[in-house]
Amino acid sequence: MNDLEAAIKAAEAAVMATPEDHPVRAEWLNNLGCYLSRRYERTRDMHDLAAAIKSAEAVVEATPEDHAGRARRFNNLGNHLSWQYDRSGDMHNLVAAIKSTGTAVKATPMDHLNRADR
């Protein structure tokens, strides 16, 4: 957990130090969201999941349609929303998860190894 906490702090610092219009900021936000979701998986703290979703939403909003990481980023958001649905039972979360994951599938080439997983 100490390593995960350090990773979260470093990712938060990277996001804070990067201007909002900088192209790499979305990648730092993506890293932060992934670290927060990992902490959520360990602690089940809903604040971590909400923060991971917020980061992932900002990431997909900043991701152009031709970006190589588009599918991965939408898949991350879909996973986070799915976990939120599991905890809350709120159908809005499930619908949003399906929509985000569907975008990930569409952005994944037919012969890509991760397509079946998505």
Domains of the chain, with CATH numbers? 2-106 (1.25.40.10)
Structure tokens, 113: 């190894």
Tell me how far the alpha carbon of residue 66 is from its chain's centroid: 18
- Rg for the chain, CA atoms, rounded: 14
- Which pLDDT does position 23 carry in this prediction? 86
Residue found by looking up tokens 């994951």 in the block? 101
Q: pLDDT-derived band of residue 116, with 50, 70 and 90 as boundaries?
A: confident
Tens-place pLDDT, residues 12-58: 999 999 999 898 999 999 999 999 999 999 999 999 999 999 999 99
User: What is the C-alpha to C-alpha distance for residues 49 and 65, in angstroms, rounded to an integer?
Assistant: 26
Residue 63 one-letter amino acid: T
- Which pLDDT does position 18 carry in this prediction? 96
Tens-place pLDDT, residues 82-112: 999 999 999 999 999 999 999 999 999 999 9
- Which pLDDT does position 35 carry in this prediction? 97
The pTM of this model reads 0.90
67 and 36 Cβ atoms separated by less than 8 Å: no
User: What is the C-alpha to C-alpha distance for residues 85 and 11, in angstroms, rounded to an integer?
Assistant: 26
